[in-house]
Structure 1
Amino acid sequence: MSTNTSRERVLARIRRALSDVPRHERPGDHPVPRDYLLTHGERTPQESVTLLAENLADYRATVHRTDAARLPALLAELLDRRGHRRAVVPHGLPQGWLAQTSIELVPDSPLLTPRELDAVDCVVTGCALAIAETGTLVLDAGPGQGRRRITLVPDHHLCVVRTADQIVDSVPQALRRLDPSRPLTWISGPSATSDIELERVEGVHGPRDLEVILVDGDPQALTPPA
């Protein structure tokens, strides 16, 4: 069957399905009720942070808690612990975050090839939001997050989350705050897949290791030491 014939058959079915719809009618004329629960239970902000940490860990991410002042030292320690020598950093990542590390920082650039990214030890980013009920990080390519591929190719991803304003309880709450026109990347734990015998394999189509740093206070305000 040719492509054109298949296309016409699909379009014909759509026309038949819409045959009783008045021509003047538009989708917005019949709002869809969205009266489902926005969250599964009520939580204090601290309880939401705790739930996020638990679900991230359940997905085999490594979770750290710190405050803004200690963030640079913690990042330096985590990078040094693994013996990393090079980290890719997106445009807009606050300079103070990595002020205490001596490893080579590779700025994100469209000129970086997948092979070059694969040779980098890790990537350090912020995020747009984190969802407590699902243990999910959402990146939207904004400042400090970079393009999608820098969080897919390196084996190790360190992601910083502000507990004060970046954690929501549920997916519906997240969707209300996210811009659907932006390139959204949803991350629930390290990249993993299972074969037919349910053998888990990590690092197939993304980072093998995900470390999440939950930061109290405002790490955006950090400035490098004079």
Structure 2
Amino acid sequence: MDDARGEILARVRAALADRPAPAAVVRDYERSRSVPDPVGLLVERVADYKAIVHRVAEAEVPERIAERLAARGVTTMAVPADVPGPWRAPGVTWLPDEPPLALAELDGVGGVLTGCAAAIAETGTIVLDAGAAQGRRMLSLVPDYHLCVVRADQVAVSVPEALARLEPVRPLTFISGPSATSDIELDRVEGVHGPRTLEVLVSE
């Protein structure tokens, strides 16, 4: 059987020996683009995904975090252990994820507060990679409310530009609006695979 297969393949190779090699296909992708206001574009696209988004001054971030949590009546928040201290608003019980919180604890909190690794203006996508101020993936997927802080210098215009900033070996989570899915009748259901509510503070 192996001899017959080898003989057939040898005949095929001999028959194709005089064929010219195919030309190499070169695809020159556009890896970066310029827009007048990348942060403004991100804010617009994040809102398109039915997320709540605010454009704030960097110095106002702690105050706006406290304001948003008070508006929701949130009293308990999970948080990565390395989230900046000023972000932890008074009047809220903060549960650092160190040691890792149990699933039941995460399911019972009012929400989670994180930073991000990058944000993509054109697609309104926020990327987490378990790096600084982000914590492990489960931390941002289990609670029903996710409050995320994005710095202006983390905003990339295009997907290729954002990917160039990320480490592919890290656990990347791409977030485009609150978790949602739909059935064959196109009935939208939110909160199936992650937070039902995504709120974003874009600081500059």
**Same fold by TM-score greater than 0.5:** yes
- Per the alignment, residue 21 of structure 2 pairs with none
After TM superposition, the score normalised by the length of structure 1 is: 0.77
**C-alpha contact (below 8 Å) 1:91/1:143 kept by paired residues:** no
**Alignment-derived partner of residue 73 in structure 2:** 83
Q: Distance in 1 between matches of 2:39 and 2:133?
A: 21
Q: Does 1:37 align with 2:37?
A: no
2:130 matches 1:141: yes
Q: Aligned with 2:130: secondary structure? A: coil
1:70 paired residue number: 60
- Structure 2 residue ranges without an equivalent (≥5): 1-8, 14-23
What is the deviation of 1:111? 3.9
- Which letter maps to 1:139? L
Larger Rg: 2
Deviations 1:104-131 (A, max 9, x none): 0000135422111000110000000000
**One-letter amino acid of the counterpart of residue 157, structure 1:** H
Q: Is the 8 A contact 1:156 1:208 kept in 2?
A: yes
What does residue range 76-115 of structure 1 map to in structure 2 within 5 Å?
A: 76-98=66-88, 100-109=89-98, 111-115=100-104
Q: Is 2:145 aligned against 1:156?
A: yes
1:147-189 alpha-carbon deviations (Å, 9 max, x no partner): 00010000000000011x1000111111111001111110000
Please report how far the alpha carbon of residue 132 of structure 1 lies from its aligned counterpart in structure 2 after TM superposition. Answer: 0.4
Distance in 1 (CA, whole Å) between partners of 2:198 and 2:43 is 13
Count of paired positions: 185
Matched residue, 1:56: 46
* Contact 2:80 2:97 (8 Å CA) reproduced: yes
Where 2:161 maps in the other structure, the secondary structure is helix
Task: Tell me which residue corresponds to 2:118.
Answer: 129
Matches of 1:53 and 1:116, distance apart in 2? 31
CA distance in 1, matches of 2:52, 2:100: 31
- Within the alignment, does 1:176 sit opposite 2:168 as a pair? no
TM-fit CA distance, 1:96: 1.1
Deviations 1:41-79 (A, max 9, x none): 5313xx111111111000001011111221111100110
Q: Which residue of 1 aligns with 2:5?
A: none
Contact 1:108 1:146 in 2 (8 A): yes
- C-alpha contact 2:46 2:124 (8 A) present in aligned 1: yes
RMSD: 2.0
- Contact 2:43–2:55 (CA under 8 A) maintained in structure 1: no
Query: Matches of 1:104 and 1:123 in 2, distance apart?
Result: 11
In the alignment, structure 1 segments of 5+ residues that lack a partner are 1-15, 21-30, 217-226
Runs of 4+ aligned residues of structure 1 deviating over 4 Å after TM superposition are: none
Residue 176 to residue 120, structure 1, CA distance change in 2 (3 Å): same
State how far apart, in whole Å, the 1-side matches of 2:116 and 2:91 are.
24
Separation (CA, whole Å) in 2 of partners of 1:101 and 1:158:
16
CA distance in 2, matches of 1:51, 1:139: 19
Q: Which moved more, 1:114-123 or 1:100-109?
A: 100-109
